[in-house]
A and B are shown apart, each in its own frame.
Chain A
Amino acid sequence: MPRPAKQARSRQSHADEASQAPSGPRPTWSGSLSFGLVTIPVELYPASRAPALRAHSVTEDGVRVTRKYYCERDDRDLEPEDLARGVELPNGKFALVEDEELEALAPKKSREIELRLFTDREEVHPALFERAYVLAPARDNTGGKAYRLLAEVMHERRCAGIATFVLREREYIIAIFSDGQLLHGETLRFADELRDPSAAALPTPKPAQKTSVSKFTRALEETGKGRFDPTSLVDPAHEQLAKLLEAKRRKGEIVQPPEAAPTPPDEGAEVVDLMRLLKQSLQGQAPADESDASPKKAGAKARPRRKSARRAS
């Protein structure tokens, strides 16, 4: 059966994991952070959350729509066990790649982020950032003091800690930053995932005319006046969307979704399921009934980290 670990992940799409449920956000990973011989229990949370207004695909009477994979030959819906990853051969046929083959290549799980290098934070450019996390102290507050110590000293020295660790069967480079109180983690793109300007055939930089530079410098100073509030960076479409929904609601254009109908798992529910499965597999249990699993679980990619939402849209 295809592994459930092949979920789309991106800086946006995994927001559900951290959505502020009554029980609070749920850690993606827990383990320890170490520097030298100091070990600090920590929990890793995605630093993004789902937008407040999210739609599901529904019919005109408000019933959820689910995606099913099917085979054109026998026109039958397929279950996860009917699906596999395929590599196209020159003759147009497909060779299968089994889960076990990929598992054999996957790095071993790690329970530790070992900071073996501290560097100036400016050396880690935001262009490298792939996914943002918060690295919070363990909720039982063991290691609270060591955590505060590291956070404070890293902040004062303006440095970033660099480590590699394994998350969901992939090894990542992670850079740890401190805001003085809280540690933030950024998984980094590997060097070969970044394009340099020569790939875009950009012309060699040359000094611009002094008068032009000072014109731009003045214009930058002008726009830089006044306080900037980062929380003002909210997509203006959200407000329009909220207004439209409210207007329709007032006009009574609502549907009452059937209560009893089994709700298919949406993306968020899948993530929760994934966590459950991972936990169970850690405990050596067989995963519970998965019959409600969406076919998306099959995951057509080895590492579908980037959903289309994140592509240059």
Chain B
Amino acid sequence: MAARALWKAVVKLGKLSVPVRMYSAVQDRDTHFHLVHVADKVRVHERLRRADDGELVEREQTHSGYTLETGEMVLLDRDELRSLAPKPSRDISVLHSVPMGRLPLSAYLRPYWLGPDGDEDAYFALAQALEAAGRAAISEWVMRGKHHYGALCARDGFLMLIELSSADQWLDVRGLKPSEGTKLEAREKQMAEQLIAGLAGAFEHERFHDAYREQVAALVEAKARGRKLPGARAPARRPKERSLQDALDASLRALKKSGSHDKERKSA
């Protein structure tokens, strides 16, 4: 079954336009439960109460309270919040283009496929130009009342737009870096390289399965059919990668051969 487009838009690159349709590139496979009241097994509802006296509050009467550094609070009501919403637009505007790999990895949030919406030649021309240049086009757009940034790139011959987080939400990592220490020796680096080379291989994504998710789904299906708990059993382990033992043996041999490396063999 073909997925429905989430949105119709136009990629604007300089004076060039590419009409596109946006599709989610991820799908939720998790089992979602309803929250029920244990005593009578009916679904529960939510309501709001004041934190001080517990009085009920209507959702429409709530405000967004921003606490300032001074401890004072400024309230915004629904209209004020609406006044902050960006102007609706159909444009995905390219701001810049950078080599793939230039963006911080932690900025990537969520991928979307873009498909052609009419002009297929322009669509594939943009995909092929991005592919050949090995670049991502940094873009911005407004969708459903919210501003977004994204990296537009080519993948499998198509256009993919990966949403990026706002830079003010990136963790400041300066304090987390390892402290300076004694210089690494050439021999240590050589050994680490050998070790990594011994464990090098292709990433076979399909070999990994979310065993827990699969078992929860099976449990829920059994319940929905009115069966009792199908005897809780230990989670099935994923089959191990073929080369694991070989690789470990190789790393052991490599370490032994070079000798005098005991200090790193214990938790260094």
Contact = CB atoms under 8 A, between A and B. Distances in A.
A302 B30 contact: yes
A201 B62 contact: no
A244 B84 contact: yes
Query: Which 4 pairs from chain A and chain B are nearest by CB?
Result: A205-B157, A36-B251, A104-B232, A132-B106
Contacts of B102: 228, 230
Contacts of A117: 199-201, 203, 241
Give the interface size bracket for A toward B: 35 or more
A164 B238 CA distance: 10
20 contacts: A11-B165, A12-B109, A15-B169, A36-B251, A59-B62, A70-B45, A85-B33, A123-B202, A125-B155, A136-B173, A145-B181, A149-B188, A153-B193, A192-B27, A202-B113, A205-B157, A208-B122, A237-B86, A302-B32, A313-B143
A76 to B, nearest CB: 9
A86 B41 contact: yes
A302 B243 CA distance: 34
B96 A223 contact: yes
Interface in B146-182: 146-147, 149, 151, 155-158, 160, 162, 164-173, 175-179, 181-182
A46 B171 contact: yes
Contact of A244 (B30, B76, B104): B76
Interface string A15-32: 100101000110000001
Contact of A36 (B52, B195, B205): B195
A223 B94 CA distance: 8
Contacts of B259: none
A207 B132 CA distance: 12
A260 B232 CA distance: 48
A194 to B, nearest CB: 6
B90 to A, nearest CB: 16
A182 B104 CA distance: 12
Interface string A40-54: 110001111111111
A94 B265 contact: no
A35 B195 contact: yes
A251 B240 CA distance: 65
Given A195-B24, A237-B147, A310-B110, A190 B267 contact: no
A63 interface: yes
Nearest to A299: B35
Given A154-B196, A245-B68, A194 B26 contact: yes
Given A38-B195, A197-B115, 11 more contacts: A24-B175, A48-B170, A49-B169, A63-B52, A82-B38, A119-B201, A190-B210, A206-B120, A212-B121, A255-B74, A258-B52
A35 B29 CA distance: 32
Given A38-B268, A190-B210, A234 B62 contact: no
Contact of B125 (A121, A151, A216, A240): A216
A81 B268 CA distance: 45
A261 B53 CA distance: 9
Interface string A64-103: 1111111111000110011111111110011111001110
A141 interface: yes
A54 to B, nearest CB: 7
Contact of B44 (A71, A81, A171, A188): A71
Given A12-B169, A191-B205, A144 B247 contact: no
A84 B61 CA distance: 30
A112 to B, nearest CB: 11
Interface string B41-83: 1111111111110000100011111111001111110001001
Contacts of A84: 35-36, 38
Interface in A127-143: 127-129, 132-134, 136-137, 141-143
B51 A192 contact: no
Q: Which of B57, B233, B238 has the most CB of A within 10 A?
A: B57
A255 B229 contact: no
A35 to B, nearest CB: 6
Nearest to B98: A228
A83 B23 CA distance: 36
A34 to B, nearest CB: 9
Contacts of A73: 37, 40, 42
A288 interface: no
Contacts of B61: 59-60
Contacts of B147: 235-237
Contacts of B201: 117-119
Interface string A203-218: 1011111001111110
A36 B84 contact: no
A123 B212 CA distance: 26
A227 to B, nearest CB: 9
A68 B195 contact: no
A181 to B, nearest CB: 5
Q: Which of B15, B112, B267 has the most CB of A within 10 A?
A: B267
B257 interface: no
Given A234-B166, A236-B86, A66 B49 contact: yes
B145 to A, nearest CB: 8
Contacts of A132: 105-108
Contacts of A15: 169
